[in-house]
Structures are given as structure tokens and as C-alpha cells.
């Protein structure tokens, strides 16, 4: 009978030690998993923050371009209204206005192609294709201001 009692006590102590050990391992495991999950979440939020920054810069640039375009259109409208009554006599003025609008429009498109929205388009296209943004584009160039901004969008 004494041997049975000693065996049961030993088994109870062994079981208690096992549960204490498992509890300590569980605490360490929960701490480790929490730390890794926090790191992953912070990296994800960092990526989202960069994306929001790019979009915000693009929207700000578009807003500025729209304001500039509205000013140009208003000025052109005023010039056309003033010169419109005598279009034949004011031909050089209207031709100069036409050239100015074409020049401004071309400069705006070239400036926009080199903006952050072009780089974002490049990275977005690469992500959709499952490629790394550091890889070269189809023509051997890395993502750059005008790299492959217009492709596959």
C-alpha cells in the first residue's frame, strides 16, 4: 500500500511539473508570436503609409495641374473673347495663343510622366505581375520615373 501511495504522489508531482513546464513554454510562445505578429503588422502599416504618401503627392500634383489648367483656359477665353470680333485681323494673336497652349500642354504631360505617380504605377504593375520592384523592366531598366508607368494599368 505504501508503494502505491508513493507511486501516486510521484505521478502527481510529475504531472504538476509537466503542467508548470507547459505553462512556462506557453508564456514564452505567446510572447514570441506576439512579437513576430507586431513586427509583421508594423511592416504592413509602413508599406501602407508609403502608398498613402505617394497617392497624396499625386493628388496634390493633379490638383495643382488642374488649377493651372483652369487659369490657362480662363486667360485663353478672355483673349479669344477680346480678339474674336475681328478674327482675321487678330490672326497672329490667335496663332501665338494656340502655340502657347500647345507648349503648356506638352510641358504638363512631360512633367507628369516623371512624377511620383509614374513610379507608383511601375511598382503597382510589378506587384500585379508578382515581380519584385527592384527587378529590371522588360527593356532592362529598373522602375524609374518613366520606366513602365503606363504598362498594364
Q: What percent of the chain has pLDDT over 90?
A: 42
Residue-wise pLDDT tens digits, 89-105: 767 777 777 777 777 66
Q: What percent of the chain has pLDDT over 70?
A: 64
pLDDT above 80 (res 119): no
What distance in Å separates the CA atoms of residue 49 and residue 38, rounded to the nearest whole number? 16
Q: Are 90 and 83 in contact (CB under 8 A)?
A: yes
Query: What is the three-state SS of 107-133?
Result: HHHHHHHCCHHHHHHHHHHHHHHCCCC
Of 137 and 75, the structure prediction assigns the larger pLDDT to 75
Q: Is 142 helix (H, G, I), strand (E, B) or coil?
A: coil
Angle of helix 91-113 relative to helix 116-129, nearest 10 degrees?
A: 50
Q: Are 65 and 108 in contact (CB under 8 A)?
A: yes
pTM of the model: 0.45
pLDDT above 70 (res 16): yes
First to last CA, the chain: 83
Q: Are 61 and 111 in contact (CB under 8 A)?
A: no
Amino acid at each position: 500500500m505504501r508503494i502505491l501511495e508513493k507511486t501516486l504522489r510521484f505521478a502527481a508531482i510529475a504531472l504538476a511539473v509537466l503542467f508548470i513546464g507547459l505553462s512556462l513554454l506557453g508564456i514564452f510562445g505567446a510572447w514570441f508570436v506576439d512579437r513576430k505578429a507586431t513586427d509583421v503588422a508594423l511592416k504592413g502599416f509602413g508599406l501602407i503609409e508609403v502608398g498613402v504618401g505617394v497617392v497624396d503627392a499625386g493628388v496634390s500634383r493633379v490638383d495643382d495641374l488642374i488649377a493651372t489648367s483652369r487659369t490657362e483656359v480662363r486667360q485663353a477665353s478672355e483673349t479669344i473673347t477680346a480678339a474674336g470680333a475681328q478674327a482675321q485681323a487678330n490672326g497672329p494673336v490667335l496663332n501665338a495663343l494656340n502655340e502657347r497652349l500647345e507648349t503648356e500642354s506638352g510641358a504638363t504631360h512631360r512633367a507628369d510622366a516623371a512624377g511620383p505617380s509614374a513610379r507608383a504605377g511601375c511598382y503597382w504593375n510589378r506587384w500585379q505581375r508578382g515581380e519584385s520592384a527592384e527587378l529590371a523592366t522588360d527593356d532592362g531598366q529598373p522602375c524609374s520615373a518613366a520606366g513602365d508607368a503606363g504598362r498594364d494599368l
